[in-house]
């Protein structure tokens, strides 16, 4: 079997990433050599790959579904927004500069060659490549410079399935409208629809599905049911709702819960770091955006940030900074990760990310941080709290003065990383909480600091197993609720000829320009 297809969505968080992961898992279990691909991703949730670059976390999750290590080839263009109108561009794993929304539109066409070359290389190496679109293909104001949705599909001849989230309501209109806004040549590649997150009796939905098929000439190839246990590795910011509980907390093993408050910065990055804590029974993890939420917290986490200085100013402006300081002075645990770690220090010198120069930190750690033009990307190993640990680093800020006596992580070369200062811990390592033994040691430490004598970790939670179980659930959903025979036909033969055009078929002048350029 050889082939490729593109999963597009009616909106962000419609289910593209999950469906790609499920298809990859299903194909891999059939013995197919399969790889994921997302031409362009916009996310501040990223990981460091085995080839030393940086890609979106969703593509790392999809790689695991395939049984592969993450690679920069799976996400050649990554945009990391640091403000409302600018983003850092990461090309094949390396930061290459900052762009505004307008300047990036002109640059996109120059990136298309890299995207197509990378995809061609994957298709030559793997039997199947499952591609994920970005946002919605019906963003017709951006179509001329698109390299992730129909622009990619047209250039690479990919059949396209469009997935919509029925839990938000209006999914039939979303699916129909997405198709109808595309130009005739783009519509010719859209071969079917998938409904995601369905709850209830499918018989009630069937008349609508049949009518959608009659109106568009395209079938609904699957209705994937809602599964509440699918929450790990959620990349889209909509999944991390402000002041929302993370995951599905299980009842405590001991007599007490441990309450974790995670500050949800406006430019939060790698928010998924705390998901491992939420896998533990009796640990209630909540994203917070205002000070009262810290009043009853046992452990406060300051996660990563793509705009460290700006988010530190927000922390002070909202009163959360004072609440964090009060929490630490009461002797209860505070954990800073990457940007959050930098905020806990004495000073931040930033001429790179914000250009703000020297800024005072919260002063809970006696360290100074200076931002460097070249980003640190690595996957280190060491020992923390007596346990072996691995992690990954993605940061411009580096510790240039460390007056604290104790490092959090002992490194193989005899050095240390991070800081332990009474109730305050800091580290640049993402993924540290995914180390099971360390995570349990941290929870015991936090419980002791908070006086939670009735809390105890379960002792048998494997984060890797929890992630694998979610991938298997996604693979099962595809196998049981998707027309997999139709998917295999699309992979083998591409989009069928003669699919009808649904009016208005995009603005006439745009459609004509696009179709003329393609000809």
User: Using an 8 Å Cβ cutoff, are 306 and 335 in contact?
Assistant: no
Q: Which residue has the tokens 């989230």?
A: 165
pLDDT of residue 237: 44
Kind plus residue range of the DSSP H or E element containing 424: strand 424-427
Q: Is the dihedral of CA 154, 155, 156, 162 positive or negative?
A: negative
Beta bridge partners of 34: 128
pLDDT of residue 519: 45
pLDDT of residue 246: 86
pLDDT of residue 397: 93
Contacting residues for 410 by C-beta, under 8 A, at least 6 apart? 382, 383, 384, 416
Q: What percent of the chain has pLDDT over 90?
A: 76
Token output for 401: 């003065």
CA distance 338 to 343: 9
Instruction: Using the predicted structure, report yes or no on whether residue 234 has a pLDDT greater than 80.
Output: no
| Single pTM value for the model | 0.89
- Confidence bin at 238 (pLDDT 50/70/90): very low
DSSP 296-336: T-SEEEE-EESSHHHHHHHHHHTTHHHHHHHHHHTT-EEEE
Return the CATH fold of 3-231+467-518.
Rossmann fold (3.40.50)
User: Using an 8 Å Cβ cutoff, are 441 and 385 in contact?
Assistant: yes
- Confidence bin at 200 (pLDDT 50/70/90): confident
Instruction: Using the predicted structure, report yes or no on whether residue 464 has a pLDDT greater than 90.
Output: yes
Instruction: Using the predicted structure, report yes or no on whether residue 311 has a pLDDT greater than 50.
Output: yes
- Confidence bin at 165 (pLDDT 50/70/90): very high
Q: Which residue has the tokens 């910065």?
A: 265
Beta bridge partners of 162: 8, 193
The class level of CATH for 254-458 reads: alpha beta
The mean pLDDT of 282-287, rounded to a whole number, is 95
CA distance 486 to 496: 11
CA distance 519 to 514: 9
Instruction: Using the predicted structure, report yes or no on whether residue 50 has a pLDDT greater than 70.
Output: yes
pLDDT of residue 101: 56
pLDDT of residue 242: 45
End-to-end alpha carbon distance in the chain: 30
The mean pLDDT of 472-498, rounded to a whole number, is 95
Instruction: Give the CB-side neighbour count of residue 25, counting CA atoms within 13 A.
Output: 25
pLDDT of residue 348: 97
pLDDT of residue 236: 53
Domain map (residue ranges) of the chain: 3-231+467-518, 254-458
Taking Cα atoms as reference points, which of 430, 395, 372, 241 lies closest to residue 307?
Answer: 395
Q: Which residue has the tokens 């069937």?
A: 206
Helix runs in 410-507, H state only: 436-450, 463-481, 484-493
Phi, psi values for residue 319, rounded to 5°: 90, -5
Taking Cα atoms as reference points, which of 171, 165, 130, 136 lies closest to residue 150?
Answer: 136
Bin 452: left if φ > 0, else alpha if -120 < ψ < 50, else beta. Answer: beta
Kind plus residue range of the DSSP H or E element containing 400: strand 393-402
Give the tens place of pLDDT for each residue, 64-115: 999 999 999 999 999 888 766 778 889 988 888 777 655 666 677 778 889 9
Catalytically active residues are: 338, 430
Give the tens place of pLDDT for each residue, 491-515: 999 999 999 999 998 655 455 555 5
Within 10 A of 77 (CB to CB), how many other CB atoms are there?
Answer: 27
Rg, the chain, Cα only: 24
> What is the SS3 assignment for 477?
helix
């Amino acid at each position: 079997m050889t082939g490729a297809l593109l999963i597009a969505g009616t909106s962000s968080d419609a289910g593209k990433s999950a469906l790609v992961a499920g298809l990859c898992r299903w194909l891999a279990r059939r013995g197919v050599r399969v790889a994921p691909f997302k031409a362009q991703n916009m996310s501040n949730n990223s990981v460091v790959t085995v080839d030393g670059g940086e890609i979106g976390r969703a593509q790392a999750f999809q790689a695991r579904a395939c049984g592969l290590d993450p690679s920069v080839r799976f996400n050649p263009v990554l945009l990391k927004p640091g403000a409302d109108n600018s983003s850092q561009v990461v090309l094949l794993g390396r930061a290459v500069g900052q762009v505004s929304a307008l300047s990036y539109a002109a640059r996109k066409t120059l990136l298309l060659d890299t995207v197509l070359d990378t995809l061609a290389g994957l298709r030559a190496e793997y039997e199947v490549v499952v591609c994920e679109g970005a946002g919605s293909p019906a963003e017709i104001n951006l179509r001329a410079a698109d390299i992730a949705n129909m622009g990619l599909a047209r250039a690479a001849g990919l059949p396209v399935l469009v997935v919509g989230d029925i839990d938000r309501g209006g999914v039939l209109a979303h699916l129909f409208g997405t198709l109808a806004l595309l130009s005739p040549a783009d519509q010719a590649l859209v071969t079917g629809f998938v409904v995601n997150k369905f709850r209830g009796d499918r018989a009630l939905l069937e008349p609508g599905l049949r009518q959608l098929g009659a109106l568009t000439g395209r079938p609904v190839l699957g209705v994937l049911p809602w599964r509440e246990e699918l929450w790990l590795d959620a990349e889209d910011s909509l999944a991390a709702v402000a002041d929302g509980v993370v995951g599905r907390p299980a009842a405590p093993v001991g007599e007490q819960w441990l309450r974790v408050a995670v500050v949800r910065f406006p430019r939060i990055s790698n928010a998924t770091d705390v998901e491992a804590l939420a896998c533990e029974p009796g640990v209630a993890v909540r994203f917070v955006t205002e000070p009262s939420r810290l009043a009853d917290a046992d452990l406060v986490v300051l996660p990563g940030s793509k705009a460290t200085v700006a988010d530190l100013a927000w922390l002070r402006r909202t009163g959360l900074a004072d609440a964090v300081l009060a929490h630490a002075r009461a002797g209860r645990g505070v954990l800073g990760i990457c940007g959050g770690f930098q905020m806990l220090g004495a000073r931040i010198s930033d001429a790179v990310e914000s250009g703000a120069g020297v800024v005072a930190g919260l002063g809970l750690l006696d360290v100074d941080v200076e931002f460097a033009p070249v980003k640190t990307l690595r996957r280190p190993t060491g020992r923390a709290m007596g346990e072996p640990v691995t992690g990954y680093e993605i940061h411009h800020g580096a510790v240039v003065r460390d007056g604290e006596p104790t490092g959090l992580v002992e490194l193989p070369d005899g050095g240390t990383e991070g800081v332990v200062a009474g109730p305050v811990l800091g580290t640049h390592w993402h993924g540290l909480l995914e180390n099971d033994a360390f995570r349990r040691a941290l929870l015991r430490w936090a419980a002791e600091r908070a006086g939670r004598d009735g809390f105890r970790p379960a002792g048998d939670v494997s984060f890797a197993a929890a992630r694998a179980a979610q991938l298997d659930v996604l693979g099962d959903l595809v196998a049981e609720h998707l027309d997999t025979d139709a998917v295999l036909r699309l992979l083998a033969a591409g989009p069928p000829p003669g699919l009808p055009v649904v009016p208005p078929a995009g603005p006439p002048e745009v459609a004509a320009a696009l179709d003329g350029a393609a000809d």
